[in-house]
Amino acid sequence: MPRLLGERVMLREYRADDIGDIRKWVNDAETTRYLSTRFWPPQTMVDSEEFLSRMLQSSHNAYNFVIADRADERYLGQLDMFRVDWRLRCGELGMVIGSAENRGQGLGREALGLMQRFAFRTLGLERLEMEVHMENDAARRCYEKAGFVLEGVKRHAFFTDGRFCDVGILSILSDEYEARA
């Protein structure tokens, strides 16, 4: 697995010792509020260990990275291309910054830029896509600053806080990335 280096962050492989940092956020309701149902609390230690075990295994249909501090490789979050459709040359992304103190600093945007460069220039993909819960304004701003465009909304596609909410589909194409790079 390659390491992708930015100014402040790197995308690196998962390591067994990341379990402690994952456990810090995985049961935090505010952090997991808009994440996949895979992360809905309560998450047991076994749940976290099984997740990490899957991330430690390689796959030709996924590229799973830890967002880490470039200086000391400290875990900050995760950016996973959890599904690649090689025929359509499309990758689907999911991201989390684990600690509230690290959000809003542009770390996610920088990590997305590294992933885009890898996906488009190294893997030769044509499209990256991701979902965002329409009420998650901070995530939407991050993704849009990274060049993703909202292309549609799935109505009442997620359940959180006791009610259904809409989910946006965002994407960036290879030529759009190159025009920004």
pLDDT single digits (tens) 42-79: 888 998 999 899 999 877 789 999 999 999 999 999 99
Cα separation, 89 vs 79, in Å, equals 18
Residue 91's SS3 state is strand
Return phi, psi of residue 132, to 5°.
-145, 140
Candidate from 20-29, 40-49, 132-141 with smallest mean pLDDT: 40-49
Give the DSSP letter of residue 73: -
Q: How many CA atoms lie within 13 A of 150 on its CB side?
A: 16
Dist. CA 78–CA 168, nearest whole Å: 20
| Three-state DSSP class for residue 92 | strand
> Is pLDDT of 38 > 70?
no
Tokens for 27, please give them.
Answer: 């049961």
For residue 5, the cross-strand partners are 10
CB 175 within 8 A of CB 147: no
d(CA 28, CA 32): 6
- pLDDT of 153 > 70? The answer is yes
Indicate the pTM of the whole model: 0.94
pLDDT of residue 131: 96
* Rounded distance between C-alpha atoms, residue 2 and residue 4, angstroms: 6
pLDDT at 10: 98
Residue showing tokens 């103190």: 101
Distance CA 92, CA 125 (A): 11
Question: Nearest CA to 108 among 84, 144, 72, 150?
Answer: 144
Place of tokens 């997740």: 51
Residue 78 CB coordination number (10 Å): 23
Report how far residue 63's alpha carbon sits from residue 79's, in angstroms, rounded to the nearest whole number: 9
